[in-house]
Structure 1
Amino acid sequence: MLLPSEIRDTRPQMPFSLPVPGKRTARDLMAVGSSSKRVRCLFFVQERSYGMRFLVDTGSEVSVVPYNTTLRSQLHAAHIPQLTAANGTRIDVVGSRELTVDLGFTRPMRWKFVVARIAQPALPSEL
């Protein structure tokens, strides 16, 4: 849509992006957790097929399920990332697996999860 110059010139200009050549550097993946007893406002979603309650974690970059919900035969050992908690401690990662999760969208989704020794399944907010 074309705008007259007096309207177009009064709006702030968006900065241009700076393209950086080459590949992006890899970083450690972060999974967030806390052991404090204070009241927190957390967002959970209920999965319909398995009945798992997932924490929607805005700071997480991966989807994680607890080790005790997975059979050894379902684990894949290829490409296991290093996970670090928000407090800096390492999270013990066992493997990865694919699950079909039904979060109430139009249809269930096939999703790759990291399997770790954690208590609460978590999904990144970008899902």
Structure 2
Amino acid sequence: MAWRVFLVEDLRSMHVLLADLFATIGSIEIVDACTTEAEARLWLDEHPGAWDLAIIDLVLAQGSGMGLVAHARRTGGPGAKVVVFSGYASPGIRAHCLALGADAVFEKTETRQFISWLSLEARGAGH
């Protein structure tokens, strides 16, 4: 069974790159993607437990991913993971996201660490 990913990212090119990345890891599929905070909140509310991993960017076309971290934590099913993957993950932002309930926070330049984390988590979840 594939690990179901809900992606919150405003750049469509990043959607394609992440989908390609997930294909190389295997057993990971994007179930939906949103580009704004409002769209993401609505999707999370309408699909509780329908995802295993939420990947959230902090800077969106409208709104911010910051408030989505706690919202995703509340609406996710048992064992669901919330990860911030953003170009703005300074040490202070990282600490704040973790305090809000993120399982991990990665700067977009930390691609290697992000891939390692994804691979380990996907295997650990039995996917």
Structure with more helix by fraction:
2
Structure with more strand by fraction:
1
Structure 1-normalised TM-score? 0.24
Structure 2-normalised TM-score? 0.24
The structure with more radius of gyration: 1
